Each structure stands twice: as C-alpha cells, then as structure tokens.
Structure 1
C-alpha cells in the first residue's frame, strides 16, 4: 500500500482529523491553489476536522472549507488594521476603500504577524474554538496531517502537533515537507515522514 493509499484509508477511518497548513501552501508561485483547497474539502467534508494555518494570503478563506473549522493565528493579508495600532479594530476587504485608518489617518496594513504591531483579536475566537475541539480529541482515533509546516513559526503547528500526537495513544501523524520532514523521538512509531513538497503530494492524493 502506498503512503497516499494509507492516508486516504486513515482519513476514512479516523474519528477526528487535525490538519496543519504551513508555508509551502503560500499561493504565490503555486498554480491554481484554489483547486487544492477544493480537493481538501472533498476529502474531509464529512469528517470532524479542524485546520490550523500559518499562511497569511487569505486564500483558504475563499475556499469551500467550513470557515468555523479553521483558524489562522498568523492573520491574513486581506483583513486590514491600523499600521500604528491606534485601535483594535480590524476591517474586512473593501470596508475602508481609502485604506487609511478612520481613527488616526495612518495607512492601514495587513492584519498579519508581519505588521509592526499585530492585532491578534481577529483570530482569538476561532483559537478558542480550536482549543475546545482539540481537548475533545484525547483518546479518540486522531489523524494528524501536517502539510508544509517548517520552522518559520514552529510554535503554532509543528511543536504543538508533536505534543498532541505524543499524548494520544490513538493518534497517528503524517509530516509532509520537502525539506523538514524529520520526526522527534517523542512520536516515533506514531508518525510517518514524507520528504516531498506537500502541495505536490496533496495533488496526487
């Protein structure tokens, strides 16, 4: 059985499905990124899943994936915030056509960790939903798919996912990355490393 077949079989059999989407999934330079998210939706739409993404391009927000089942703690470029953080307000695309802060007149910037003063309030409600969901995975048959998450922000996906897998005896993880697929001792026997670009791998699932 190929790794692809194993993953599809485990998606079908799992009780809970946790997916981490890392920097390999940035839309820039990847043709037809939307089709990847559509494919993902087709594979997991009937599962009890949650997605954590560190990608900030906002592509996933326009996908058919259930928005209540995903969190983007690094923010997204399509949402806007005051570049000087004079307010905690966050605006959706087109809400402020002039792209200047209505409070202080400074330019708006993307609501991401790249901002000088990142306003985190935008993702916190979904983060709470995620942690609640995650608490319910203990002693459940949990499949973890880590797609292209390297070491840019390892505290969001990589390290927490390792901990989740290590403490759940029914968990199994696939770490897929073109360069950083190595696994720590804490998840040996409960995880598989796939040394391949995760977007290219996923297209072949």
Structure 2
C-alpha cells in the first residue's frame, strides 16, 4: 500500500512539474490537516471554562450556543476568531503548499475563512475566499456592501478577558488566573455606518456581504479559468467534502471534463470516486493531506 501511495505522489509531482498552471481548490479538510482542529486538546486549552459551564465539547457547537448576552457571545467568538484567524496554523502545511506552486501560474479557490493562504505567502490577487473571512466584520442588517477588518477589535476583547498575546500571537493566561467569560459592553462591535451591531463576514444566509474585494476576486477567478480553458492545468482539490460541493468539487469535475489537457487531483482522508467521464484524467490520493504535501516538496 505504501508503495502505491509513493507512486501516486511521484505521479502528482510529475503532473504539477509538467503543467502550465495549477488551480487549488481547498476545503476545511486542508486546515484540519494543518492542525486547525476544533476538538480535543486545542478546544480544551481555550474553551474549558465554556465547556464546564455549558457542556459542549467542540468549538463548532459553541459557536451556535444561545448565549444570554452579547458580552458573553463575543467573549467566546473573540477567542474563536483569534485562534483560528490570527494565530498561525500548528503545522507548516500551507507554507509547504506554497513552496509547491510558487513558481507556477496558480490560482486558489477556497471555502475556508481562516486566511491561511495569505499568511503562508500566497498572492492575495490569486485568491478567492468564496465564503468570507474570520478577519472581517459586516453590518448585521446589512446597511451597506462594506466590510471592516477586525483585528484590533478582537484583540481588545481578548485582552479584556485577561489574556496576554505572545510573540507568535498565541493566547497566554497568566498563571493562577481564570479568563473572564464576558467583555465590557463598550467593546461590542458596532457598524461605523449605521451603528447597528456588527457580525462576522461569513456566508450563512442572504445577508452575507460580497464586498468590493469579494467581487474583484470573483472576476479574477472567472478570467483565470477562461484564459486556461484549453491549457495543461492541474485541478488540485484538497480536503473538500460535500457540504458545498458545487463551489469546488463539481466545478472542477466540469472544467476537467471540458478540457482534455487537464488533470483532476483529489487529496482527502478517504479515496473518493469520480465520474466515469473523467476517470482517465483523474488521480485520487487518500490519506493525510499534510503528509502528502510535505512529501511533494521534500
């Protein structure tokens, strides 16, 4: 089995080396592989107080908990945003991926909202974050098609809970102290335009703001696809599931079907089936994406 895996990784490296261009389609599984897990030790380190009080055992569940006050809601969410957006990923997976494609004509399409691509060195003009960004706020109404960077606001919320922030943006709780589970009312984020509460710029309903940056990225993505329609392109899908398959997976299948010079590659924990029409153009590799990517650049 290991020999088969090695052969597939070598074939993938060859495909990328020989390609005119590479488009990466990244889902939540890539960030999970990079160490951004929402359960276990990482959850306990930052949310054990919330877990004791309310009984949930993972960050995702805590994000939907009906907190009684906005002060408590934002205490939870400020920690959540900080560790999943402003702290670096525990593993070098995104940096390894950048090393793999930085000399190529590349583009990135992702449903992830943790900003890991840009932090790893990817050109922001070659990135399309379709579902938003933990680092942006928008009006809850919304009153306008604008977003606002939230790092300073989130930092103030974190500090108000008793944390300090380390050299690598890690959260540090002074020994012998407990974090506060609410923030002062004056730190609640308000829309600079209308004064209503702000919320995360994450796609969850029809109120999601597709701001100027989002619109520009959408156009750049379509232009890139058009310019590479008949070229030798590797469609590299990593960690994509079936929550929103139409954004990456089905689009990649369709593009490869229409371009006989293209190759569809899927990296996922489990090997997946592909449509019969593109099987001859496909390479499916099951396993730990972080290890596979590291093997490609070693």
Q: Same fold (TM over 0.5)?
A: yes
Max Rg structure: 2
1:112 aligns with 2:207: no
User: Would you say the 8 A contact 2:190–2:198 is kept in 1?
Assistant: yes
Q: In 2 relative to 1, CA 111–34 (structure 1 residues): closer, same or farther, beyond 3 Å?
A: farther
Question: Between Structure 1 and Structure 2, which shows a larger proportion of helix residues?
Answer: 2
User: Would you say the 8 A contact 2:136–2:148 is kept in 1?
Assistant: yes
- Cα deviation for residue 26 of structure 1 reads 3.0
TM norm structure 2: 0.63
Match of 1:164 in 2: 255
1:144 aligns with 2:235: yes
User: Which runs of 5 or more residues in structure 2 are unaligned?
Assistant: 1-5, 39-87, 157-186
Single out whichever of 91-100 and 67-76 deviates more from structure 2: 91-100
- Cα deviation for residue 204 of structure 1 reads 2.9
User: Which runs of 5 or more residues in structure 1 are unaligned?
Assistant: none
Q: In 2 relative to 1, CA 32–89 (structure 1 residues): closer, same or farther, beyond 3 Å?
A: closer
- Cα deviation for residue 63 of structure 1 reads 2.0
Could you tell me how far apart the structure 1 residues matched to 2:218 and 2:206 are? 22
Match of 1:83 in 2: 140
Q: Deviations over 1:30-85 (max 9, x none)?
A: 89456212111111111111110110122223221111111111111111111221
Of 87, 97, 102, the residue aligned with 2:192 is 102
User: Would you say the 8 A contact 1:37–1:65 is kept in 2?
Assistant: no
TM norm structure 1: 0.90
Superposition map of 1:1-205 within 5 A: 2-26=7-31, 28-29=36-37, 32-33=89-90, 35-94=92-151, 98=187, 99-114=189-204, 117-121=207-211, 122-179=213-270, 181-205=272-296
- Cα deviation for residue 116 of structure 1 reads 6.4
How many equivalent residue pairs? 205
